[in-house]
Structures are given as C-alpha cells and as structure tokens.
Amino acid sequence: MTLNRQLLMERLLQYAREKGINLLETSYVATAISERLDDDNILELMGVLAVNAVGSGIHTAKLCDRLSRAWDTVGQKKNAIEYTLKALELDLSSYGNMHSAVSERYNAIGVSFNGIGKLDKAISCFNKAIEVDLNIFGESHPRVSARYNNLGMCWRSLGDAQKAIECYERAITIDLAIFGDKHPRISTLYNNVGLAWATLGDLHKAINYYNKALDIDLKYYGMATSEIATIYNNLGLAWRTLGDVDKAIGFYTQALEIDMLVYEDNHPSIARDYTNIGVAWSLLGDKHKGIEFYNKALEIDINVYGTAHPDVAVDYNNLGMAWCTLGFIQKGIEYYKKA
C-alpha cells in the first residue's frame, strides 16, 4: 500500500500516543517517512518502533525539532512551525533567554514564517535571534551577519528596501572583517544589496553590486554554478529595464548556458531563462523568436508542474500577447483562456 506521506505521519503519531511509545523514537521514523515515497513498509516500521520504544511520551526539544523537520519536508509549514515553537519553549525553560540554542530556534522560526509570508513575525524572530547572538558572540560573528541578511530579505519583501540595505551593509561589514573580500558570503550580500537598489529604482547602483558579486564568484568557483547564473539573470533584468535589451539578451544567454550545464533539461531555472530571453526578443520586435522561447519554457513548466501552475499561466499569457501583437487575435485569445 502506498499512502500519502502526511497521512502516514499522522497515523504514526496517533499510534505512538495510543501505545505510549516514546515520541523521540517516533520522530526518527517520522523523519524517515517524510524522506521517502516508498512507504509500503510503514507497518513494519511501526512494529520495530514498538519493540524498541522506551516509553514516557514526553516532548523534548530534540523530538520537536525532528518532527518539525519531518513536517517541513512534506510541505506542512504550519505544523513545522508548531513543533519549532514547542522546541523554543523547552529551550527557554532549559537554558534561559541568552543561549545559542535559543537563537537558533528564533532563526528557524523566522525562516519558517518568512516561507509562509508572515513577514512581521519573521522580522520579530530574526531580531530576537540577533539580540541573543550579540549578547553571546558580540558584533563580529558569522551568525550575527547571517541574521542581518535574513532580516534584510524580510524588509525587502515588505517593500522597505532602504531598511534592507542597512541590514545587508551591517552583514557585509561583519563578513569582510572575518572572511575578507573574496568569499561567497560577500558575493551573496552584494547581490542582495543590488536587488534592493533595483527595487529602489537605482539600476546603475544595482549593476555595480551585481558586478562585484559576479567578480567574486567567478574567481572563487572558477566554474559554472547556479549562483553565477542568478547574477547574470539579475544583470540581464537591470539592463533590460534600462533599455539595453541586446546586452540583456547576452546576460540571459550566459545564464541559460550555465543552467543547462548545472541542471537537467527539465528544470524551472532553465524555463525561467527561456522566458527571460523570449521577453527580451519580443521587446526587440522579434515576436516569432519570442514565441520560440516561450514555447520552450512552457514545455518545461508543464513537465515539472503540470498544467495548473502560475508559471504555466505566465507562459500562456506571454504566448497570447505575442500572437495578438502579430495579428493572430483568435490564437492569442486561446492562449489567454488557457492562462
């Protein structure tokens, strides 16, 4: 029998409660279930669990952390947050407010809240993590810079790009002192600052930061990586927005070449590259070439997501717009309807 992984986890937890099985042991099985599609041996796993159970059923921070990770693996973010909050409560009880384990919990909860769009709650958690880490480690520590980076991403998502830049700059100051100016952590932060300046409309400043990030990554990795492809895409978007579409196509094409080396043929990043190139060619007036790339993106997105997905809708919309512009109104409408 092959059952939905979420249902299996729920049944396992219910089974453990009914049998009085130690939930820490249960969590190991729950994690195993969450990482497998082949769940035919679930009853055997439960039997092994029952034989080896040691019994109190008391929640521990370690247990809650494992269950949180298991729920997160199967896409149940709210359940994952619930267990991480329980772990935080237990850590606060065990260690007090100023402990590295407490900081890690706050950061993990912040990441989870960010993932479900609860940005205000995420910011609150990241600020608490920063407060704890500053108290323990002082200003010049990689954990502190990582928290500032997370905080910056939240502020940018909320639309306060200026506050995001302030957070990123703090992280850069810390990481430069620790790692020097040729480390990928610095590259990531430069790229994030570039994104924030692009949000503020200063595209030349954004391009400057993207180029700094690119220079570091090219020297550090010396090979094709997804990080470099991402920067090329960011440069392409900036130049396209500035009106230099030919230059944008050059960067998009470089991103595509890298992604085709890094990923399998049917990967969303490759579809994104095709879409970007298609949009650029359409802006240059070559709608037929735009359609060619939109169709390539559509084929990948349908293979990856199926027909009911926002990215597929974007592909159909792009095709509809291109065909209508070429004068094939009925064909364009058909694509709009699919979108």
Q: Which residue has the tokens 């559509």?
A: 298
Burial class (CB in 10 A: 0-12, 13-18, 19+), 284: middle
Distance (Å, whole) CA 8 – CA 12: 6
**What tokens were used for 172?**
């850069």
Distance (Å, whole) CA 49 – CA 35: 17
Provide the residue ranges of all domains of the chain, joining segments of one domain with +: 1-93
Q: Which residue has the tokens 């850069």?
A: 172
The pLDDT of residue 65? 77
The pLDDT of residue 28? 57
pLDDT of the chain along its 339 residues, tens only? Answer: 344 556 666 666 666 666 555 555 555 555 555 555 344 444 444 434 433 443 333 346 776 777 777 677 767 788 889 888 988 988 898 889 999 999 999 999 999 999 999 999 999 999 999 999 999 999 999 999 999 999 999 999 999 999 999 999 999 999 999 999 999 999 999 999 999 999 999 999 999 999 999 999 999 998 889 999 999 999 999 999 999 999 999 999 999 999 999 998 899 999 999 999 999 999 999 999 999 999 999 999 999 999 999 999 999 999 999 999 999 999 999 999 999
Angle between helices 245-262 and 226-242 (to 10 degrees): 160
**What tokens were used for 44?**
């055997």
Q: How many CA atoms lie within 13 A of 254 on its CB side?
A: 21
Distance (Å, whole) CA 258 – CA 37: 31
Determine the Cα angle at 334 with ends 332 and 339, to 5°: 95
How far is the first Cα of the chain from the last one, in angstroms, to the nearest whole number?
37
| pTM for the full predicted model | 0.81
The pLDDT of residue 160? 97
SS3 225: coil
| Cβ within 8 Å of residue 24, ≥6 positions away | 60, 62, 63, 66
